[in-house]
Amino acid sequence: MVSVPRLVIAAPASGSGKTTVATGLMAAFAERGLDVSPHKVGPDYIDPGYHALAVSSSPARSGRAPRPGRNLDAFLCGPERIAPLFLHGAAGCDLAVVEGVMGLYDGAAGQGELASTAHVAKLLRAPVVLVVDASSQSRSVAALVHGFASWDPEVRVAGVILNKVGSDRHEELLREALDGSGVPVFGALRRVRAVRAPSRHLGLVPVAERRAEAVESVAALAERVREGCDLEGLLALARSAPPLPDRPWDPERETASARGGAGPGDGAEPGPRPGGGAGPGPGGARPVVALAGGAAFTFSYAEQAELLTAAGAEVVPFDPLREERLPPGTAGLVIGGGFPEVYAPELSANGPLRAEVAGLAAAGAPIAAECAGLLYLARSLDGEPMCGVLPAEARMSERLTLGYREAVAVGDSPLAAAGTRVRGHEFHRTAVEPGAGPEPAWGLVRPERRAEGFVRGGVHASYLHVHWAAVPEAAVRFVGRCASPLSGSGGGGR
Closest CA to 16 of 150, 125, 148: 148
Q: What angle do CA 365, 292, 384 make, to 5 degrees?
A: 90
* Distance in angstroms (rounded) separating the CA atoms of residues 408 and 417: 10
As to burial, measured by CB atoms within 10 angstroms (0-12 exposed, 13-18 middle, 19+ buried), residue 447 is exposed
Q: Are the C-beta atoms of 204 and 47 separated by less than 8 Å?
A: yes
| Tally of CA atoms within 13 A in the half-sphere of 246 that contains its CB | 21
For 346, other C-beta atoms within 10 Å of its C-beta total: 15
Q: How many helices (H) and strands (E) does the chain have?
A: 15, 22
**Alpha helical stretches, state H, 152-283:** 168-178, 211-228, 231-239, 251-258
Cβ(489)–Cβ(360) below 8 Å: no
Q: What is the dihedral of CA 326, 330, 335, 339, to 10 degrees?
A: -10
What sign results for the dihedral spanned by CA atoms 59, 65, 66, 69? Answer: negative
Report which of 274, 264, 335 is spatially closest to residue 476, judged by C-alpha positions: 274
C-alpha 412/C-alpha 398 separation (Å) is 34
Q: 3-class secondary structure for 405-444?
A: EEEECCCCCCCCCCCCEEEEEEEEEEEEECCECCCCCEEE
The strand pair at 157-165 and 465-466 is best described as: unpaired
Q: Which residues pair with 451 in a beta bridge?
A: 443
Angle (CA) 473-475-481 rounded to 5° is 100
Would residue 77 show up in a list of annotated catalytic residues for this protein? no
Question: Which entry of 77, 371, 387, 482 is annotated as an active-site residue?
Answer: 371
Residue 490 to residue 289: CA distance in whole angstroms: 10
Which DSSP helix (H) or strand (E) runs through 351? helix 351-362
Amino acid identity, residue 483? Answer: A
Distance CA(436)–CA(391), nearest Å, equals 10
Q: Could you tell me which residues are beta bridge partners of residue 10?
A: 130
Q: By three-state DSSP, how is residue 281 classified?
A: coil
Main-chain dihedrals φ then ψ at residue 281, nearest 5 degrees: -75, -170
Which residues form the catalytic set?
371
